[in-house]
């Protein structure tokens, strides 16, 4: 049975299908020693030899981790400033990468995997997978500004909005819990920043309904049932 080349790359843990298409168009993928730039190209996993950047790749057993990201860790696989990355906290024989990003000093729920399809599923806007954040602001959030955040504001020339805005502690209106469906870089900080607020600290409380049930700076394997439940809950 043949499969599309971008899916083969995703199943091999190279990247999501969407990112894999970019790699194909850049000429970084060969099949049987021939460079392929056709997005619709298919391969036979049992017969064809696929190379990415000169290294033979093969589909892998999918693994999934849940991390409670600590402050001071970069959400990348490598850092040109030699800062500690989230992968430095993971002891895995298989190569994994983080799904989406959390800022350097943002804490909380982070998924890591080698399953490109799962990464694509969680991050694609059409699936509307919720992220819940707790933000500590430099001053109390005004009721009018709360309404504006629910209605929507423009950040980086694109409109964004929170699905829900609440206050987890009575009478402390500088501690705000928000629900968003976007994964744009610095989304929460930019939303508040558009109204003149500064986010002092930020924690992602949950992602896709999954909370960090482990100490900060640690991780645990996710079961296949957990992954299936996420897909079932948010799949269309």
Contact 187, 207 (CB under 8 A): no
DSSP, collapsed to helix, strand or coil, labels residue 200 as strand
According to DSSP, the β-strands at 175-180 and 210-211 are: unpaired
CA–CA separation, 180 vs 17, rounded Å? 24
Q: Which residues are catalytic?
A: 103
Contact 188, 149 (CB under 8 A): no
Spatial CA neighbour of 197 closest among 178, 181, 211, 183: 178
CA–CA separation, 213 vs 122, rounded Å? 20
Contact 126, 236 (CB under 8 A): yes
CA–CA separation, 24 vs 77, rounded Å? 21
For the chain, how far is it from start to end, CA to CA, in angstroms? 26
| Tokens standing for residue 26 | 């850049």
Q: How far is CA 230 from CA 43, 128, 158, 227, in A?
A: 29, 12, 28, 5
Beta bridge mates, 176: 135
């Amino acid at each position: 049975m043949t499969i599309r080349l971008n899916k083969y790359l995703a199943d091999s843990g190279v990247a999501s299908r969407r990112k894999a298409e970019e790699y194909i168009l850049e000429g970084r993928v060969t099949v049987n020693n021939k460079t392929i730039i056709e997005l619709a190209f298919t391969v036979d996993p049992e017969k064809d030899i696929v190379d990415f950047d000169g290294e033979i790749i093969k589909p892998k057993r999918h693994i999934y981790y849940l991390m409670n990201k600590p402050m001071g860790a970069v959400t990348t696989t490598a850092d040109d400033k030699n800062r500690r990355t989230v992968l430095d906290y993971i002891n895995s024989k298989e190569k994994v990468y983080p799904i989406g990003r959390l800022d350097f000093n943002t804490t909380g729920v982070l998924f890591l995997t080698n399953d490109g399809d799962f990464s694509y599923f969680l991050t694609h806007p059409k699936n509307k997978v919720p992220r819940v954040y707790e933000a500590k602001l430099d001053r109390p959030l005004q009721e009018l500004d709360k309404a504006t955040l629910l209605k929507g504001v423009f950040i980086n020339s694109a409109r964004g909005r929170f699905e829900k805005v609440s206050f987890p502690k009575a009478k402390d209106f500088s501690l705000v819990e928000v629900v968003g469906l976007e994964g744009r870089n610095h989304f929460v900080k930019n939303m508040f920043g558009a109204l003149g607020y500064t986010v002092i600290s930020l924690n992602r409380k949950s992602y896709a309904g999954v909370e960090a049930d482990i100490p900060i700076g640690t991780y645990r394997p996710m079961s296949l049932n957990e992954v299936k439940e996420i897909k079932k809950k948010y799949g269309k």
